[in-house]
Amino acid sequence: MMDSSVKIINEWDIVAARQLGRNVAKELGFGIVDQARITTAISELARNIYLYAGQGEIIIEKVENGAKKGMTIISRDAGPGISDLRKVMEDGFSTSGGLGAGLPGVKRLMDEFSIESTLGEGTLIQSVKWLR
Amino acid sequence: MNMRIPILKLHDCLLVSIQWELDDQTALQFQEDLLHKIHETSARGVVIDFTSIDFIDSFIAKVLGDVISMSKLMGAKVVITGIQPAVAITLIELGIHLEGVMTALDLEKGLEKLQRELGD
C-alpha cells in the first residue's frame, strides 16, 4: 500500500496536493468524473487548511476493503479547531466570505466522510472514494 | 510560476482560453488583466473558454463569478464556454451553480451567442 502526503503551508501546496491526488486517482483507475471529484475535494480540503489552520497536511492512501478498492483523503491540521461542526456542515455557511461550498460539498463529492475537531487542537477529516 | 493568461481582441470582443490548471495567483491576476483589457479596448463582450480545464474548485469558481459581475459593471457581457461534463458534475455537486452566467458548448457557439446578445 502506497501512502503519500503533501504539507500545506502556502497556496502552491494546494496545487501540489491536488496534482498528487489526481495522479493517484488515475493510477487506481478512477474515471474522468471521479478524478475531477477527487481533485476538487482535495483542493477544498487543502484550501481550508491554508485559510483556517495556517498549516497542515493532506495524506492520500490507497484502501482495500474486501473486493472494494478506493482512495482515502485525510486532511489533518493542528489549527484552532471548529467550534460548531453541525454549522460548518450546513450548505452556505462560511466564515471567510467564500462561496461556502466547503465541507458539505466535499461530502457530496466523496463516498464516505467523517470529521473530528477539538478546539485548540485541530481538525481531522477523513474521506473515501470507492472505485466503481 | 506566475503565468499570465493571454487575452486576445477580436473586433469588439475579447477571447480568453484557459489552457492550464489555475492556481490562486494566476486566477486573481487574470481577473485584474481582463478588467484592464476591457477598459483599454472598450470591449463589449468576452468569451472565456474552459475546454482544456478538467476541474474547477470553489475558489476558481468564485474568482470567475466575480470577474463576470465586474465585467458587467463595466458594460461587457461574458459567456463561458467549453465546460467539460466532469467539471459541470463536480461544480453542481460542490454546490456551485453560477446562476445567471451565460454559457455555450464551445467557443464558436459562445461567440454566436455573444453577437446575438450584443445585437449585431
Q: Indicate which CATH number applies to the domain containing A86.
A: 3.30.565.10
Partners of B23 on chain A (C-beta within 8 Å) are: 11-12, 14-15
Looking up cell 463516498, which residue turns up? A111
- Write out pLDDT tens, residues A102-122: 899 999 999 999 999 999 999
Q: Domain limits at A118? A: 3-130
Decide if pLDDT at A89 tops 70. Answer: yes
Q: Do B90 and A37 touch (CB under 8 A)?
A: yes
ipTM: 0.90
- A37: nearest CA partner in chain B: B90
The predicted pLDDT at position A88 comes to 84
- Burial code (b: 16+ CB inside 10 Å, e: under 16) for B41-71 equals eebbbbbbbbeebbbbbbbbbbbbbebbebb
- Give the pLDDT means over successive 10-residue stretches in chain B (120 positions): 86 95 92 97 97 93 95 97 97 90 96 90
- B90: nearest CA partner in chain A: A37
**Domains defined along chain B, listed by start:** 7-118 (3.30.750.24)
Decide if pLDDT at A90 tops 70. Answer: yes
The predicted pLDDT at position A1 comes to 46
The predicted pLDDT at position B75 comes to 96
- Of residues A40, A98, A108, nearest to B55 (C-beta): A40
Decide if pLDDT at A45 tops 80. Answer: yes
Question: What's the gap in Å between the CA of B31 and the closest CA on chain A?
Answer: 16
- Whole-number Å distance between alpha carbons of A17 and B9: 35
In this structure, which amino acid lies at residue A38?
Answer: I
Of all residues in chain B, the percent with pLDDT exceeding 70 is 98
The predicted pLDDT at position A87 comes to 84
pTM, two decimal places: 0.91
Average pLDDT, chain B: 94
Question: What's the gap in Å between the CA of B101 and the closest CA on chain A?
Answer: 16
Q: Do B58 and A44 touch (CB under 8 A)?
A: yes
Decide if pLDDT at A36 tops 80. Answer: yes
- Whole-number Å distance between alpha carbons of A73 and B37: 40
Domain count, chain A: 1
